[in-house]
A and B are shown apart, each in its own frame.
Chain A
Amino acid sequence: MIRVEIPAHLRTLARVTGEVQLEIKGEPTLCALLNELEARYPVLRGTIRDQATNERRPFVRFFACQEDYSHEPPETRLPAAVVAGVEPFLIVGAMAGG
């Protein structure tokens, strides 16, 4: 199981508490993780990435294993510790704005 942490506002929308656990069939890539997350929680479509272009929203970032994955291409393979469920994949809302 892959563990995913999503921002508080998105947890409210998805009506979940704590981490989300996902099972990804096939290659565990960044894109596959987001596809599975949106398939499990359709209300999140458009909140993390643009529905038409799949571009990450500017104030949303992706972190894992102390690395910034925000600018990595969608086909980037998730780190082994995330795939193994040892480390969570973090979807973070930027600390900005009022």
Chain B
Amino acid sequence: MSGVRVLVGTRKGAFVLSSDGKREKWEVSGPHFAGWEIYHMKASPVDPDRVYASQSTGWFGQLIQRSNDGGKTWEPAGNKFEYDGVAGTHQWYDGTPHPWKFARVWHLEPSLTDPDVVHAGVEDAALFRTTDGAQTWEELPGLRLHGTGASWQPGAGGLCLHTIILDPGDPKRIFIAISAAGAFRTDDGGKTWKPINQGLKSVGIPDPSAEVGHCVHHIAMHPARPGVLFMQKHWDVMRSDNAGDSWEEVSGNLPTDFGFAIDVHAHEPETIYVVPIKSDSEHFPPDGKLRVYRSKAGGNEWEALTKGLPQRDCYVNVLRDAMAVDSLDSCGIYFGTTGGQVYASADAGENWTAIVRDLPAVLSVEVQTLQ
């Protein structure tokens, strides 16, 4: 029988939520690594019991944990993230040069074919890879040493590489995004990188259409159409139909085009989801109403999905890695909030229920569909 496992990273530990394919009754396991920030957990698509977790605190730094039994037990893996060669400088908030310094792992992206291969996106922005199941990590320095690297500036959360998308049709093509440098693509397995920000407009930088400097919050792709990308930028929801070579805005009738999370329906590549958030400093839902917005047209035309979600007095945020989908016949949509709720919809967003309500602030949500 099919089932679903939801991997939830929070400010104070990790939680594993499990259900059968009906997605009505849930078991909650955790907290794992109690008291530690779990920025991200993700499982190998080819070995569902192999799960990787990024564990960190400001006190004791970064650890990587590995599970071989679907998150029941964990073993610490390698946590040495050293930049390749001389790290150099990027720009600080005030525009002065600032030495590149490792802070934490924001995102772990296991390989589509090998459970021992994982990419890690880190702060200060760089891409690392392990080929031995997270025992050792090596930087792919071509990204950080891109000619524009010295001009990259951090967003409010730091200079973080938070999005990694592997192209299922081309093992040498990877998309990444950095706040606040923008999106980049490699077509040669990470040796060289190209900024893919043409069409983005960011009013908070000197040249709104600059090659780099955009605060990309998240990117999503449907695996059946790896050339089509959807982006939630600091402001604006964008889409690209040519693997990021150019972008057009598809914010349409959204109540605000600011937000963090974006994802694609598992079976309908033109159906996408965002959670509009009020900004530039509030970072909570407009009017105190938590609404997921869905477009079935790949953007521009959006409908609010509200059944089961609080429609008054709700002032939580939904962070960039805190939305995911399952691939059951009726696609499940999941997201976590900074208020500690994890909401699930087993019918593509029509109806929502809270799996749990009182976790620590949710940083990330990933979903495994188990056969």
Q: Out of A46, A94, A97, name the residue touching B61 (CB < 8 Å).
A: A46
A94-B59 Cα distance, complex, nearest whole Å: 7
Q: Out of A13, A52, A60, name the residue touching B82 (CB < 8 Å).
A: A52
A93 touches B63 (CB 8 A): no
A9-B35, A9-B36 known; A59-B80 Cβ under 8 A: no
A59 touches B59 (CB 8 A): yes
B59 touches A97 (CB 8 A): yes
Chain B contact-residue range equals 10 to 19
A10 touches B60 (CB 8 A): yes
Chain B residues whose CB sits within 8 angstroms of the CB of A52 once the complex forms: 80, 82
Task: Say if the beta carbon of B79 comes within 8 Å of chain A.
Answer: yes
A64-98 contacts to B, CB under 8 A, are 93-94, 97
B76 touches A57 (CB 8 A): no
A45-B60 Cα distance, complex, nearest whole Å: 10
Residue-wise, chain B 53-74 has the 8 Å CB interface mask toward A (1 for contact) of 0000111111100000000000
Chain B residues whose CB sits within 8 angstroms of the CB of A13 once the complex forms: 63, 76
Chain B residues whose CB sits within 8 angstroms of the CB of A45 once the complex forms: 79-80
B61 touches A47 (CB 8 A): yes
A51 touches B59 (CB 8 A): no
Chain A contact-residue range equals 10 to 19
Interface of A is mostly: loop
B61 touches A57 (CB 8 A): yes
A9-B35, A9-B36 known; A93-B60 Cβ under 8 A: yes
Say how far A13's CB is from chain B's closest CB, in angstroms: 7
Quick one: closest A residue to B57, CB to CB? Answer: A9
Quick one: closest B residue to A10, CB to CB? Answer: B60
A93-B60 Cα distance, complex, nearest whole Å: 8
Q: Out of A43, A48, A50, A94, name the residue touching B76 (CB < 8 Å).
A: A43
Say how far B258's CB is from chain A's closest CB, in angstroms: 26
A9-B35, A9-B36 known; A93-B59 Cβ under 8 A: yes
Quick one: closest B residue to A43, CB to CB? Answer: B76
Residue-wise, chain A 26-58 has the 8 Å CB interface mask toward B (1 for contact) of 000000000000000001011110111000010
Quick one: closest B residue to A59, CB to CB? Answer: B59
A9-B35, A9-B36, A52-B82 known; A60-B76 Cβ under 8 A: no
Q: Out of A43, A51, A97, name the residue touching B80 (CB < 8 Å).
A: A51
Residue-wise, chain B 6-35 has the 8 Å CB interface mask toward A (1 for contact) of 000000000000000000000000000001
Quick one: closest B residue to A13, CB to CB? Answer: B76
B58 touches A47 (CB 8 A): no
A43-B76, A45-B79, A46-B79 known; A9-B59 Cβ under 8 A: yes
**Residue contacts A-B, CB under 8 angstroms, 24 given:** A9-B35, A9-B36, A9-B57, A9-B59, A10-B60, A13-B63, A13-B76, A43-B63, A45-B80, A46-B61, A47-B60, A47-B61, A47-B63, A48-B60, A51-B80, A51-B82, A52-B80, A52-B82, A57-B59, A57-B61, A59-B60, A60-B59, A93-B59, A97-B58
Closest 8 pairs between A and B when the two form their complex, measured CB to CB: A47-B60, A59-B59, A43-B76, A93-B59, A46-B79, A51-B80, A46-B61, A52-B82
The chain B residues found within 8 Å of chain A, CB to CB, are 35-36, 57-63, 76, 79-80, 82
Q: Besides A13-B63, A43-B76, A52-B82, 9 other CB < 8 A contacts?
A: A7-B60, A45-B80, A51-B80, A51-B82, A57-B61, A59-B58, A60-B59, A94-B59, A97-B58
